[in-house]
Amino acid sequence: MSKILIIAEHLDGKLNLATARAVSAAAAVKPEGIDVMVLSDQPDAIATEAAAIEGVSKVLTVARTENMHALAAIVAPQVAAAAKGYSHVFAPSTTFGKDVAPRVAGLLGVNQVSDVMTVESSHVFTRPIYAGNAIVTVEAPAGQIVVATIRTASWPAAGKAASTAPVEALSLDVALPTHTRFVGLKQGKSDRPDLQSAARVVSGGRGVGSKENFDIVYKFADKIGAAVGASRAAVDAGYVPNEMQVGQTGKIIAPELYMAIGISGAIQHLTGIKDAGTIVAINKDGEAPIFEVADIGLVGDLFKILPELEQALA
């Protein structure tokens, strides 16, 4: 029988929603158990959140001062040591997961499966290739532990359990490397919803024209309670910081509503929004590729259309 270990992602003492999405993927394997591993200097509050996720059998905590910051070089040896007895080790396909999972796979001497979209069986999965233009089926060796990252945009977050799972402190006798140390973390602060977990996202592209003009996107997003994203072209032009980039080399998202404002729709951008519920496109170029995937398309000047939409919403 399969038994799955999920590496919890957290920041500032709070569990990331990506962990609950990884639990949904794990449940699709139909395992004997799903355990969540929380590595932190103070894991109790995070473990409590993880224990409340439906489908979780047990939460394992590793409390060490070295785990104050999620450094892949520090986390991976501990996960590899804890993986004994498990058939699978899953991590969300986020910046965190993409950093940690390859190291875990390397320490365990196995290949990693990346960006799992669907589970066909315990060792057979599908994942996107060629910037999402094709889906490939991959099979991991049956006699080896499977280390995989989960494409969170392809999985719903597991719900809240009727009763909480037990929490168990885990003691690992692992020598941790000292060649890597935490220096600092700089991240943008915003009162808007988180881009990767928001139900509504409004993104601007090169067509917005300038950093100053991007205010019209922010204003409209605030009007509908949405997160704000951007195309790579807008990021490269300096309109917005790179943490707002949506697409193959940015954030892969799956909101219920995605609005593309002044975005032409390069394949790299479309890869990042393919799992969105409803896509609305506003562009003055009626031949823009974005209209091929949009559920609703408005051809016209965004600087006229957005104010009109705001008035209609009011």
CA distance 152 to 21: 6
pLDDT computed for residue 203 by the predictor: 97
pLDDT computed for residue 278 by the predictor: 97
In this prediction, residue 118 has a pLDDT band, given cuts at 50, 70 and 90, of very high
CA distance 160 to 259: 29
Taken as a whole, the chain contains a residue count of: 314
pLDDT computed for residue 314 by the predictor: 81
205-223 mean pLDDT: 95
In this prediction, residue 82 has a pLDDT band, given cuts at 50, 70 and 90, of very high
Assigned fold of 200-313: Rossmann fold (3.40.50)
pLDDT computed for residue 273 by the predictor: 94
Ordered by start, the domain boundaries in the chain are 3-169, 200-313
State pLDDT tens for residues 33-44: 999 999 999 999
pLDDT computed for residue 43 by the predictor: 96
pLDDT computed for residue 188 by the predictor: 67
For residue 300, pLDDT over 90 is answered with yes
45, exposed or middle or buried, with CB in 10 Å at 0-12, 13-18, 19+? middle
For residue 194, pLDDT over 90 is answered with no
Neighbour tally for 301: CB within 10 Å: 13
pLDDT computed for residue 89 by the predictor: 98
Q: Do domains 3-169 and 200-313 have the same CATH topology?
A: yes
In this prediction, residue 186 has a pLDDT band, given cuts at 50, 70 and 90, of confident
For residue 169, pLDDT over 80 is answered with yes
274-282 mean pLDDT: 94
CA distance 304 to 242: 27
State pLDDT tens for residues 138-161: 999 988 999 999 999 899 999 999
| Average pLDDT, rounded, for the chain | 94
15 contacts 49 by C-beta, under 8 angstroms: yes
pTM score, whole prediction: 0.84
The CATH homologous superfamily to which domain 3-169 belongs is HUPs (3.40.50.620)
CA distance 294 to 279: 5
What strands, in cross-sheet order, belong to the sheet with 278-283? 227-230, 200-204, 257-261, 278-283, 296-299
12-31 mean pLDDT: 95
pLDDT computed for residue 1 by the predictor: 73
